[in-house]
Amino acid sequence: MTISTGDNIPDIELFTMGAQGPEKTTTGAVLGTGRVVLFAVPGAFTPGCSKVHLPGFVQQAAELTGKGVDRIACVSVNDAFVMGAWAEDQGVGESIVMLADGNGEFTEAMGLVMDGSGFGLGTRSKRYAAIIEDGVVTSIEVDENGGVEVSACSAVLDRL
């Protein structure tokens, strides 16, 4: 079942890349308090994710926080090493928490699994953006057609 408006975010263990390597965290710790924008990408370093999706959030992070967003988080079914390298490559800095859902457990709990096996990606996350307030989804939009439209930062800004 796909998560929807009014649902609580599932509390799942994920990883971030710290100074000493991968660090465990939970979605409850990152997404459970305050106003959070969470966006998911099918894969780090893939063209749509690297040229449009993540850069939009990096470039407009100040606009999001200016509209009352406490935290911006990006999740992908990749490991923490890949997410850390991608964050560095994209100049994310401290503006976005990069969450590694290496086993796809959070993506599965959200009901937003994408089968990318037809083009060599295996099981990944659908592309989406959610607004979460104190752990409850207040808005979620999924790009079902493969583009970056309803999950783009500009679309999220319009929903805030």
In this prediction, residue 122 carries a pLDDT of 87
Residue 4, domain member (yes or no): no
Q: Is residue 5 part of a domain?
A: no
Domain range for 23: 13-159
Tell me the mean pLDDT per 10 residues along the chain, length 160: 95 96 98 98 93 96 98 98 97 97 98 92 94 98 93 97
Tell me if 117 is assigned to some domain. yes
pTM for the whole structure: 0.96
Residue 1: per-residue pLDDT: 81
Query: Quick check: is 74 catalytic?
Result: no
Number of domains within the chain: 1
- Single out the catalytic residue among 14, 17, 49, 82: 49
- Residue 76 CB neighbour total at 10 angstroms: 28
* pLDDT for the residue numbered 146: 80
Q: What is the pLDDT of residue 71?
A: 98
Is residue 49 in a domain? yes
The reported pLDDT for the residue numbered 39 is: 98
Provide the CATH number for the domain around residue 105: 3.40.30.10
